[in-house]
Chain A
Amino acid sequence: MWSVSDEALLAGLASGDDEAAAALVRRFQGRIYGLALMIVGDERTAEDVAQETFVKAWQHADAYDPRRGRVPTWLLAIARNVAIDAVRMRRSEPIDPQAILALGMASKDPGPEEQGSAAPDAARLRAALARLPNEQQRALVMAAFLGRTAREISELENVPLGTIKTRIRTAMLKLRVMLEVYHER
């Protein structure tokens, strides 16, 4: 079946094409809402965040440059920042990174959408994340998904700042090496 590209749908959204806008929302609503729900922790706020993400996408669609990144990660980055702001505004309790990891983020098994060859890179990244020590996974999750600085993580984890910086750095560099190994095979 012929499928319109993500970039074409985003361009349609920017130009006021209702069908393209609806298709874009349908294509990405699960991912956007899933990320929002994971970060904010309640369904009502998650829907607000997800809605706001698509409105922002419409507002800034004309500034999207396909040479610099893919539509899914562009949308998810918007959702992440909107969700982090929502958490800060609501003065919510800090989210336990272990709860995020428990969602299957770090797993040797592919996610439900990664069966077969649909998203081999995500499956490899998921497996690589699973190979990191737990304390590195926690620090990375808090920085990457919850927008925490090393100093904030240090205070939340009650661990020296230098140790947290090392955990984040080591985690990212290990992932990079592990994924390079995959790509070179």
Chain B
Amino acid sequence: MSDEIGCRDFAELAPELALGTTTGEERALSVEHLAGCARCRQLLDELSGLADDLLLLVPPHEPPIGFETRVLERIHESRQSPSRRHTLRRVAALMAAALLLVVATAGVVLRATSADRDLGSSYRRTLAVANGGYFAAKPLYGRAGKGGGHIFGYQGSPSWIFVVVSEPALSGRFKVHLEMNVGPRVVLGTMLIEHGQGSWGSVVPVDLHDIEEITLSRPGTPEVLEAHL
């Protein structure tokens, strides 16, 4: 494909672009063309609206009893932990920024849902670069249930985890264990936490799906931090 595309080439790409399933290269070329072509922007706008409207065709299905209460409780919990909310939003913003680098020129947002769709599309393309299945981020919890950092996990070739600890009460060397759904516990390595701060990463020899829990502990003592991936 040449560096520039015309209206005919764009029309071929537009449906997949609207559905958020194009490759990074296709998207970059499309955005470049869109910048100078109002007619193609109109076409993409219409097709994006169509893609959004398809979601309205799904038959409604009432959730289990108590769903509303459980949702509101979750929102209440999040409201009561503003620092956690802000931390997660910062992490999400960083992740989004990193993912969006893949499509550096993707700056045209034609509809409200297209931003969300673009991020999902970028995410999938980023995963495809290293044969990835998914990327996840989960909080680390201490024994008292308080947050103590985050664990990031990547399922791919290879799979890996990255641990970020922020827990003022901790200091020293901690073993990182994988508790498996089936099979013995795996000791992955040793992580150094200094003055409550530490970060550590490692390739993992198993699929992330098979990990029940990741724990940090000192030899001879109970787990001090844990996360469910």
B60 to A148, Cβ gap below 8 A? no
Does B85 reach chain A (CB closer than 8 Å)? yes
Q: Which residue of B lies closest to A32 (CB)?
A: B63
The contact of B15 among A74, A168, A179, by CB within 8 Å, is A168
Q: Chain B contact residues (Cβ within 8 angstroms of A): what range?
A: 35 or more
Does B190 reach chain A (CB closer than 8 Å)? no
Does A185 reach chain B (CB closer than 8 Å)? no
B75 to A147, Cβ gap below 8 A? no
Interface residues of A in 29-49 (CB under 8 A from B): 29-31, 33-35, 37-38, 43, 46-47
B51 to A38, Cβ gap below 8 A? no
B78 to A59, Cβ gap below 8 A? yes
Interface residues of B in 77-115 (CB under 8 A from A): 78-79, 85, 89, 109-113
CA separation between A13 and B68, bound complex, in Å? 14
B72 to A144, Cβ gap below 8 A? no
Which residues of the other chain, B, contact A89 by a CB distance below 8 angstroms? 133-134, 136, 155, 209
Interface centre among B21, B72, B119 (most CB of A within 10 A): B21
CA separation between A153 and B49, bound complex, in Å? 22
Interface centre among A13, A81, A121 (most CB of B within 10 A): A81
B51-74 interface bits toward A, Cβ cutoff 8 Å, 1 = contact, 0 = none: 111111111111110011011101
Given A147-B120, A172-B15, is A29 in contact with B68 using a C-beta cutoff of 8 Å?
yes
Count of chain A to chain B residue pairs whose CB atoms are closer than 8 Å in the complex: 180
Given A74-B112, A77-B117, is A143 in contact with B56 using a C-beta cutoff of 8 Å?
no
B15 to A105, Cβ gap below 8 A? no
Does B116 reach chain A (CB closer than 8 Å)? yes
The contact of A103 among B59, B113, B134, by CB within 8 Å, is B59
A34 to B61, Cβ gap below 8 A? yes
Does A94 reach chain B (CB closer than 8 Å)? no
Interface of A is mostly: helix
CA separation between A55 and B12, bound complex, in Å? 37
Which residues of the other chain, B, contact A112 by a CB distance below 8 angstroms? 59
CA separation between A121 and B53, bound complex, in Å? 9
Instruction: Give B40 Cβ to nearest chain A Cβ, in Å.
Output: 14
CA separation between A64 and B112, bound complex, in Å? 7
Interface residues of B in 6-20 (CB under 8 A from A): 12, 14-16, 18-20
Instruction: Give B23 Cβ to nearest chain A Cβ, in Å.
Output: 8
A172 to B74, Cβ gap below 8 A? no
Interface centre among B23, B58, B62 (most CB of A within 10 A): B58
Instruction: Give B125 Cβ to nearest chain A Cβ, in Å.
Output: 8
Does B191 reach chain A (CB closer than 8 Å)? no
B178-197 interface bits toward A, Cβ cutoff 8 Å, 1 = contact, 0 = none: 00000000000000000000
**Given A149-B22, A172-B14: 9 more A-B contacts, CB < 8 Å:** A31-B56, A33-B60, A47-B63, A55-B74, A76-B58, A122-B53, A143-B21, A145-B58, A169-B16
Interface, chain B (partner A; CB < 8 A): 12, 14-16, 18-23, 46-47, 50-64, 67-68, 70-72, 74-75, 78-79, 85, 89, 109-113, 116-117, 119-120, 124, 133-134, 136, 155, 207, 209
Interface, chain A (partner B; CB < 8 A): 13, 16, 18, 21-22, 25-26, 29-31, 33-35, 37-38, 43, 46-47, 50-51, 54-55, 58-59, 64-66, 68-69, 72-74, 76-78, 80-81, 84-85, 88-91, 103-105, 111-113, 119, 121-122, 125-126, 129, 140, 143-145, 147-150, 165, 168-169, 171-173, 175-176, 179
A-B contact pairs, 9 of them (CB 8 A): A47-B70, A64-B112, A69-B112, A73-B55, A73-B112, A122-B53, A122-B56, A125-B56, A172-B15
